[in-house]
Amino acid sequence: MDQVPRRIEAISRRLHGESVVSICRSLAVSRRWFYYWLSRYTPGEPTWAQDRSRAPHHQRRKLAAGLEQLVCQVRRRLLKRKYAQRGAVAIQWELRQLGAEPLPETWTINRIIRRHHLRPEDKLPRPARPAYPALEAKTPGLVQQLDLVGPRYLSGGVRFYGFHLIDAASNAVALEIVLSKQEECLCQALLQAWRRLGLPRLRQLDNELSFRGSNRYPRSFGLLIRLCLALGVEVRFIPEGEPWRNGIVEHFNDTYDKSFLRSQYFRSLGHLQRELGRFERFHNEHHRYAKLGQRPPNAVHKANPRRALPEHLALAWVPKSWKDGKVSFTRLTDARGSVRFFTERFLVDPLLVHEYVVGTISIKDNRLRFYHQHRCVKDTNYKVSKQQLLSHM
């Protein structure tokens, strides 16, 4: 039923003595609705049952077109004036000096600025960010990210570290528990993780001292780097102070912390290790990622061939000769165009200021080459202390 005839019928039936309850039931309306239209009923006025305009009775004072144009002119003039203030208060002051009437409020001036698109000119151009040489992991087995989380503690004061290795393409993880940062412990954990995850072509990690070796002997690489070189894995260190460059494993660390470590009570170190294995398998089989098309990591990781770790490989294994392995590092140059790797500083190029460069150390020919946007900008000698390395093995 149309609204106007129903309103007229409701009031007419009431005028003929029918009860309000009966009218409301038959017309399926509320008592509030009925009494509203009863109050609107006016004998002799044929339009009482029609809808009224909902526009406000009092219109806001509309600014004269000439005054609005004057606001825009003042704004443009202030934008061109060096060192001048350009906001609504400054515009209002200028209008007062010009004798403008009525003087608009500051919020009215701001609305005019937005309406005429006069805001973007206020913003200073953002300086271009230096291009970061990110590694592309198109298929599993190319790039792995490594991070050490901790120390964390169990009841009784038992201290441990989380050793997290993740494939950058598939997000498949291999998780270990280490009790110290000693090189031998980290390398044993790395071998165990590689047995499950496979060997990568390149491993990316942060600048943790246990990963690097010694600050006293910066050119004698630590055991972790030497193990990677022996197995044909290139090592790349991310920039110092920029952990987000290891973003995939850092994001997983948050999942590990919330979904595993803080979600339950661990009675002992053995209990922690058993549950960690279950968590790793559950993550790889069931956690789904948008970049994988909502598939779990193993569905992608196991579908691609992987480089397997040689069977029965022990940490005591030492290659007789050095291969053409590589150790790389990404750094942001300082105001002089130089970078630091370990405890040494290298001048790359005075013209490359605040730019990301990649330094690559070639073990075979003892050279350090710096690359900027895939172009070699410096080639210098870098003598690796191989004799000392073999004595450490």
Q: What is the pLDDT of residues 169-199, one digit of tens each?
A: 999 999 999 898 888 888 888 888 888 888 8
The residue with greater pLDDT, 245 or 66, is 245
**Mean pLDDT, range 95-124, rounded to an integer:** 81
User: Minimum mean pLDDT among 63-77, 96-110, 112-126, 346-360: which range?
Assistant: 112-126
Return the top range by mean pLDDT from 77-81, 330-334, 364-368.
330-334
pLDDT at 59: 54
For 255-270, the DSSP string reads: HHIIIIITSS---SHH
For 299-318, the DSSP string reads: HHHTTS--BPPPTT--TT--
Is residue 205 within 8 Å of 238, Cβ to Cβ?
yes
For 327-385, the DSSP string reads: EEEEEE--TTSEEEETTEEEE--TT--S-EEEEEEETTTTEEEEEETTEEEEEEE----
- On the question of pLDDT at 393 being above 50, the answer is no
At 388, the pLDDT band (50, 70, 90 cuts) reads very low
DSSP β-ladder status, 158-167 and 143-154: antiparallel
The rounded distance, in Å, linking the Cα atoms of 355 and 132 is 8
Query: Can you give the residue ranges of every domain in the chain?
Result: 3-40, 65-122
The residue with greater pLDDT, 82 or 373, is 373
- On the question of pLDDT at 214 being above 60, the answer is yes
The rounded distance, in Å, linking the Cα atoms of 136 and 186 is 26
Average pLDDT, the chain: 84
Radius of gyration for the alpha carbons in the chain, expressed in angstroms and rounded: 36
The per-residue b/e assignment along 327-350, b for 16 or more CB within 10 angstroms, e otherwise, is: bbbbbbbeeebbbebbeeebebbe
pLDDT at 392: 40
At residue 160, the 3 state secondary structure works out as strand
Q: Which among 245, 186, 168 has a CA at the least distance from the CA of 177?
A: 186
Specify the amino acid at residue 264: Q
Provide, rounded to the nearest whole percent, the portion of the chain with pLDDT above 90. 16
Provide, rounded to the nearest whole percent, the portion of the chain with pLDDT above 70. 90
CA dist list (Å): 83 to 46, 78, 376: 66, 9, 43
The rounded distance, in Å, linking the Cα atoms of 87 and 79 is 10
pLDDT at 175: 92
The per-residue b/e assignment along 294-304, b for 16 or more CB within 10 angstroms, e otherwise, is: ebbbbbbbeee
At 391, the pLDDT band (50, 70, 90 cuts) reads very low
- On the question of pLDDT at 319 being above 70, the answer is no
- On the question of pLDDT at 322 being above 60, the answer is no
The structure tokens 């940490």 sit at 315
- On the question of pLDDT at 273 being above 80, the answer is yes
pLDDT at 370: 93
pLDDT at 226: 83
**Mean pLDDT, range 301-328, rounded to an integer:** 73
